[in-house]
Amino acid sequence: MDIDEIFEDIKRTLEASPELEGVTFLGGEPFSQAQALTTLAQKIKALKLSIVTFTGYEYETILKSPNSSWHSLLKETDLLIDGPYIQSQHDLSRPWIGSKNQQYRFLTDVYKHFETKLAQIPNKLEIRLHPDGTISANGMAEPIDLHMLLELDYERRR
């Protein structure tokens, strides 16, 4: 999809769900698409929506990068969650984060009010069972949760 198509989809979603507060860039690596995501983020910000960006890069690496599009995407980001997921450091005690090495970077005041409340915000796993029989999951899962989802999907396909 091109940027305008994605933006129009976001606008339609906002019209249908005015409580929408922002958009999250994740998976693939957002900084591999930094120029396009910066353009999209600027359009999204014009709608008064926030931007959360997840990256496998560490914040210091982004800051030191000579890549100007990385710096541009960082400027549009309200909350950066940085660092690769490391399975041996798996930890779901903090919201939105999967391993101990990952960090929150409050780059604007938009989400700053969460900074002192993070310990009280639980991680969530949203599972949707669709009418066509497909299953989708969104959120942070323990390995046992993923195993149970795979079992459920296996049973559904039999």
pLDDT at position 42 is 98
Query: 141 and 73: one domain?
Result: no
Q: Which residues of the chain have pLDDT under 70?
A: 156
Using CA atoms, how far apart are residues 156 and 158, in angstroms rounded to an integer? 6
Domain range for 38 is 3-122
Same domain, 51 and 94: yes
Question: What's the confidence (pLDDT) of residue 105?
Answer: 98
Q: Please, are residues 80 and 59 in contact by the beta-carbon 8 Å criterion?
A: yes
pLDDT of residue 137: 76
pLDDT value for 8? 97
Contact (Cβ atoms closer than 8 angstroms) between residue 65 and residue 36: no
> What spatial distance separates the first Cα and last Cα of the chain, rounded to whole Å?
34
Instruction: Please state the pTM of the whole predicted model.
Output: 0.84
pLDDT at position 148 is: 82
Predicted confidence at residue 133, as pLDDT, reads: 78
Give the other-Cβ count within 10 Å of 130's Cβ: 8
Q: How many domains are contained in the chain?
A: 2
In a shared domain, residues 36 and 113: yes
